[in-house]
Structures are given as structure tokens and as C-alpha cells.
Amino acid sequence: MTKRFVYADNAATTQVSDEVLEAMLPWLKEGYGNPSSIYEKGRQAGHAIEDARKKMAEALGAQPQEIYFTGCGSEADNWALKGVMHKLASKGKKHLITTVFEHHAILHTCAFLEKEGFEITYLPVGPLGLVTPEQVAQAIRPDTGLVSIMYANNEIGTIQPIPEIGKICRERGVLFHTDAVQAVGNVPINVVEQNIDMLSMSGHKIHAPKGVGALYMKKGIVIPNLIDGGEQERGRRAGTENVASIVGLGRAIELACADIPGKIAKVTPMRDRIIDALSDIPMCRLNGDRNRRLMGKQYVFCL
């Protein structure tokens, strides 16, 4: 008898799905052309990347030319924060607002920026694991250049009031970035309706491979490159494209966003059953808000 294995850590990473793998394989074999090459084999790879970009844009309510593929979610976070702050420093904007419970890709980037002389405000999230739009409004100063608040937390799964925070940032003329690595495919996202200027995402949290991600950057935002070199990604992110993984990412986001309300309706009752069962254990309690949380996360800890 084979042992049954249950993998319950999809917040850390996910398995590449059969559909994603199938979409990728041709680009690891006969479709090996360099997308920058002008002959047929190269152009085919280039078209495959543009097709993935369209799928990504569609899933987020963005324009294809607002999507930049990166090497991972961490790179997208680094690029957004360092890029915006370095750009705005010359305009005297040296203040960034974030939260205490961001992923290390944000927190360690903030620590780096602090060493460079930037000022960071880390908003507390309280026992519910939520920041409020009012907290953000109160923290904005005349020299604030960027607000970066994660869409959904990677440890406790709480979902932040992103559209409301985005609205405040827009009214105050401050750029708004969100690390949506955990939210993409689990929460309906539309960058236009939700007032998002920049958004990071990653492949391996949505059944695409590790080592590919993307940054959505609203049209008109121009920041320094993080990686200089060739003219890939319209001259803004150098490095010969990871064609197969980008194709996989396009397929993965298409699948993940196909029916989010249906998934939420199906998975939420299962999540709640687990929460209820675990809450019956003496000294156990749920960490973070009971309802504003990802459908598939139910962290409980013992006091």
C-alpha cells in the first residue's frame, strides 16, 4: 500500500500543475529560440511571451504593456521599492509607508533603503492582522513617496483593505504598491478598480514554476532599472527571458483566475470547518480576523 501524502503548505509553494507543465514543455524543447532573435524560431518564442503577458494583464485588469516579467516575486518587490524611492529621492520624497508583517522581500528591502537614508514607517497590524485605511491616511507626510502594503499576508492569510488604501494614496498623490503574491488567484483583483499603481506577483504560489514573477507598473510610471543589460522587457528588465516559465506563468494565472468566486464558495466552508475544529482544542485560538482571510488558510496557534 502506498502511503497517502497530504501537502498542506501551499502558502510556501505549490506543485506545478499538469496544464502548466504541458504549456511549458514545447518551450523547453523545440521552441528554444531566443526571443530577441529576428528569425522565425526567435519570433515564435517572442510571441509566446507576449501571449503570456496578455493573459497576465487580463487577469489583473491591466494593459499588456504594464506587465514586466521578473525572476521572482522578491525581484518585483525589490524593483518596485528601490526603483520608486531612488527616483523620488531627487524630489525630496524620502519616506515610505509599509506594515510590520510584510514578507522579507519587502522588509529587508526597507532595511536596505533605511541604510541609504530613507525613512520607513512600519504600521502595526494589531491582533486582527489588518491595517486600516485611516492608519495609512494618518501616516502620509508631505515627503511620502510610496505606500507598500501586502494584499494578503503569507503567514496568517488576512486580506488588507487594498481598494480603500489605494484610494487614499491616489487622493494624496502618493504611489501605491501591493505585494499580491499570496492574493493573486485567491482574491478577485482589478488594478484599475482597486486603485493599485504597482503590484508584485510570483509564479510558484499559483502552480507555475519557481523562479518567475511579474511586476505590474501603471502606465506612466518610470523608475530606474534593477537589472541593466539588453533590451528585454522594453528595455526595463534585462536578461534573456525564461520563456518556458513565463509561458507557464501565463497559463497558471489564466487557470487561477478563471473562477475565483466559485473557488471561494467551495473552499471557504472547508476552511471554516477546520478553524472550528481546531478552535475546540483548549488554549488554541485563531490568529487574525475570522472572515477577512484567504479561503485556504487557517492558522491557529496555542497560547
Ligand X SMILES: *Cc1c(COP(=O)(O)O)cnc(C)c1O
Summarize as ranges the residues that interact with ligand X (CB under 6 A): 72-74, 77, 103, 105, 150, 154, 179, 181-182, 202, 204-205, 213
Question: Which of 229, 209, 227, 232 has its CA nearest to residue 34?
Answer: 232
CB of residue 72 vs ligand X: minimum separation in angstroms?
A: 3
Chain mean position to CA 37: 30
Q: Least distance (Å) from ligand X to the CB of residue 3?
A: 28
Taking the complex as a whole, how short is the minimal distance between the CB of residue 84 and ligand X, in angstroms?
17
Shortest Cβ 175–ligand X spacing (Å):
18
| CA–CA gap between residue 221 and residue 176 (Å, rounded) | 11
Helix (H) or strand (E) holding 79: helix 73-89
User: Closest approach of Cβ 109 to ligand X, in Å?
Assistant: 11
Residue-wise burial string across 224-237, b where 16 or more C-beta atoms lie within 10 A, e elsewhere: eebbeeeebbeebb
For residues 33 and 213, which CB has a smaller minimum distance to ligand X in the complex? 213
Name the maximum alpha-carbon separation found in the chain.
67
C-alpha cell, 27: 518551450
**Environment class of 45 (CB within 10 Å of its CB; exposed 0-12, middle 13-18, buried 19+):** buried
Task: Please tell me the distance from the alpha carbon of residue 235 to that of residue 5, in angstroms, as a whole number.
Answer: 45
Q: How far is the CB of 107 from ligand X (least distance, A)?
A: 10
Between 52 and 72, whose beta carbon lies closer to ligand X? 72
CA–CA distance, 113 with 117 (Å, rounded to integer): 7
Other Cβ atoms closer than 10 A to 41? 14
Judged by beta carbon, residue 182 or residue 298, the one nearer ligand X is 182
Quick one: 121 or 182, whose CB is closer to ligand X? 182
What is the dihedral angle through the alpha carbons of 7, 9, 14, 15, rounded to the nearest 10 degrees?
A: -20
Q: Which residue's CB is nearer to ligand X, number 26 or number 188? A: 188
CA distances from 76 to 177, 215, 221 (A): 11, 5, 14
CB of 117 to ligand X, least distance (A): 25
Question: Which residue's CB is nearer to ligand X, number 103 or number 251?
Answer: 103
Specify which residues 286 forms β-bridges with: 300
CB nearer ligand X, residue 105 or residue 187: 105
Region class of 92: left (phi > 0), else alpha (psi between -120 and 50), else beta: left
CB 238 within 8 A of CB 225: yes
Q: Kindly tell me which of 202 and 232 has the beta carbon lying closer to ligand X.
A: 202
Tell me the closest approach of the beta carbon of residue 294 to ligand X, in angstroms: 11
